[in-house]
């Protein structure tokens, strides 16, 4: 099972929770939704050759590396989800695979004066550009993974088994301690009666853990 970063997990939760009012929606709508939620305030252009981020001067000086990393993680994550069938595009097979003329723009004409060129593999950009107009659906496996805080079903069942085992061991230890406490603090009287041989009473007092005082007396 692929381990997602904490930031990627936030993105996945946003994807799973995405519920637009329209019946038919495109992947571009979802992609813009994620950018608005997690990279709000910057512009982005993606084409066949590059990814460019448009940021203001303060973000450029203070959040340069953070914005580069998060933008890259978003683009890479959508590629991973598609490759692992967590996010499935409903597209015709005969559609051209060429992306030379494709372009995605999000807030490219903001007042941001600085730009950051982001290095990405072509297959990551291709995954986005070829599917912008396509409908999609989110797999039940991804929904379940998000619901379980990104723990697999096997790991979740293992943790349940471990908790049950710990509870059983705890109860066993509690029982042993209770028996030990009774042995230390409770007086026990044992009567032996045999009419054919004797009629005597044995009184056993437990005063210390390792010592027993045995008193035998004859009733006659």
Contact 49, 29 (CB under 8 A): no
Q: What is the Cα–Cα distance from 217 to 196, expressed in whole angstroms?
A: 18
Q: Which residues pair with 205 in a beta bridge?
A: 213
Helix axes 64-83, 6-17, angle to 10 degrees: 60
Q: How far is CA 117 from the centre of its chain?
A: 32
Furthest CA-CA distance within the chain: 116
**Half-sphere exposure for 192 (CA within 13 Å, toward CB):** 11
**Angle, CA 187 vertex, CA 186 and CA 188 arms, to 5°:** 115
The conformation of residue 24, written as its DSSP 8-state character, comes to: S
Contact 73, 108 (CB under 8 A): no
Q: What is the Cα–Cα distance from 44 to 55, expressed in whole angstroms?
A: 9
pLDDT by residue, tens only, the chain of 220 residues? 568 999 999 999 999 999 887 666 799 999 999 999 998 778 999 999 999 999 888 888 899 999 999 999 999 999 999 999 999 998 776 666 777 888 999 886 667 778 899 999 999 999 999 999 999 999 999 999 999 988 864 445 434 555 556 556 667 677 677 676 676 776 555 554 555 554 555 455 555 555 544 444 444 4
Residue of 71, 78, 92 lying closest to 127 (CA atoms): 78
Q: Which residues contact 29 (CB under 8 A, 6 or more apart)?
A: 20
* 108: its two tokens: 């490219």
Domain segments of the chain as ranges: 6-150, 170-218
Contact 11, 73 (CB under 8 A): yes
Q: To the nearest 10°, report the CA torsion of 179, 180, 186, 192.
A: 70
pTM attached to this predicted model:
0.67
């Amino acid at each position: 099972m692929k381990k997602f970063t904490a930031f990627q997990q936030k993105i996945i939760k946003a994807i799973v929770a995405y519920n637009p009012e329209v019946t038919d929606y495109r992947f571009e709508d979802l992609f813009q939704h994620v950018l608005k939620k997690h990279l709000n305030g910057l512009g982005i252009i993606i084409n066949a050759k590059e990814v460019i981020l448009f940021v203001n001067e303060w973000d450029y000086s203070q959040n340069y590396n953070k914005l580069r990393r998060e933008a890259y993680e978003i683009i890479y994550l959508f590629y991973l989800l598609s490759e692992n069938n967590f996010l499935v595009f409903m597209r015709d097979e005969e559609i051209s695979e060429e992306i030379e003329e494709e372009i995605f723009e999000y807030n490219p004409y903001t007042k941001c004066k600085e730009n950051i060129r982001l290095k990405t593999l072509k297959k990551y950009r291709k995954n986005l550009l070829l599917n912008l107009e396509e409908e999609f659906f989110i797999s039940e496996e991804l929904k379940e993974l998000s619901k379980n805080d990104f723990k697999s079903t096997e790991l979740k069942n293992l943790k349940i088994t471990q908790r049950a085992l710990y509870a059983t061991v705890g109860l066993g230890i509690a029982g042993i301690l209770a028996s030990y406490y009774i042995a230390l603090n409770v007086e026990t009287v044992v009567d032996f009666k045999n009419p054919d041989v004797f009629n005597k009473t044995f009184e056993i007092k437990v005063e210390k853990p390792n010592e027993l005082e045995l008193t035998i007396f004859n009733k006659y």
